[in-house]
A and B are shown apart, each in its own frame.
Chain A
Amino acid sequence: MEQILFLFVALVAITGAVYFVFARNPLYAILSLIVVMFSIAGLYILLNAQFLGIVQIIVYAGAIMVLFLYILMMLNLSKEDESKKQNLMKFAGVFSAGLLLISILGAFRGFKVQAVAENVDSSVGLTKNLGRLLFNEYVLPFELASILIFAGIVGAVLIGKKDL
């Protein structure tokens, strides 16, 4: 049952990613990227990493993808105006990405995962446990992350402003 569920969600993710890479219309491409983000959130929840699943839905499928769609519609690019790349360059891209996939899978072929221990703690991904970890051991990086976000906001406004 769990295997069928995993294979279904993985298939949705890979199909969405393939459509995202090859769709001519950028609007449909971004919409299929949203599907990929949701299926990755589903995989997080299958792994019992519920906090990460919810954060994935809120941050990626919610905020970042809406930002992408907003920029896309603001720039009015929905027509297919992408200049054609030569077929040779396209073939070279597909070829080298395939080689990368083969070499990654080949590198993992000899990798033996030891059997999962029976008593693995499956509740590490719950919000309660992660929150305890985040606000005890990782409280300084957490605060620094807020400074980073603030710098990001200022930088985005500074770059986006017309004349400064």
Chain B
Amino acid sequence: MEGNSFIQVVPLEYFIILCSVLFCLGVLGVLVRKNAIIILGCVELMLNSVNLLLAAFSSYKGDGNGQILVFFIMVVAAAEVAVGLAIIAMMYRNTKSVDISIFNKLRG
């Protein structure tokens, strides 16, 4: 019953504030950093904050379907990271760098 008392004591607004701060830190990292690996990690951070908020809403509602959705998001994120890191390794092999300011070939 610990979970129940936790839900009674800690208001849902705390989770909203925490997840908003984590999401905005992820956005900040994508905007500020130039290392492609760090940018991929920032995307992971944003994904995790949204996952946490979804699980919090699911727990406060007492409905398990939201947590199943979080589980599927994690599955897709694992596949995404594998492909993304393979692309970064390929970029490094071609240019010997992961600095994104070099990769401006697609600029219009």
Taking Cβ atoms with an 8 Å cutoff, the residues of A that contact B are: 2-3, 6, 10, 13-14, 17-18, 20-21, 26, 29-30, 33, 36-37, 40, 43-44, 46-49, 51-52, 55-56, 59-60, 63-64, 67-68, 71-72, 74-75, 77, 81-83, 85, 90, 92-94, 96-98, 100-101, 104-105, 108, 111, 113, 116-117, 120-125, 129-130, 133-134, 138, 141, 145, 148-149, 151-153, 155-157, 159-160, 162
Q: Which residues of A contact B45 (CB under 8 A)?
A: 17, 20, 33, 36
C-alpha spacing A33/B40, complex, angstroms? 12
Contact B68–A138 (Cβ < 8 Å)? yes
Tally of contacts, chain A with chain B, CB under 8 A: 232
Question: Which of B44, B64, B79 gathers the greatest number of chain A CB atoms within 10 Å?
Answer: B64
20 inter-chain pairs at a CB distance below 8 angstroms, sorted by A residue, are A14-B22, A21-B33, A44-B55, A46-B3, A47-B56, A49-B59, A60-B48, A64-B77, A68-B37, A68-B85, A81-B99, A94-B28, A101-B20, A105-B17, A105-B20, A116-B12, A123-B3, A130-B68, A130-B71, A152-B82
Contact A67–B64 (Cβ < 8 Å)? no
Contact B74–A60 (Cβ < 8 Å)? yes
Chain B interface size band reads: 35 or more
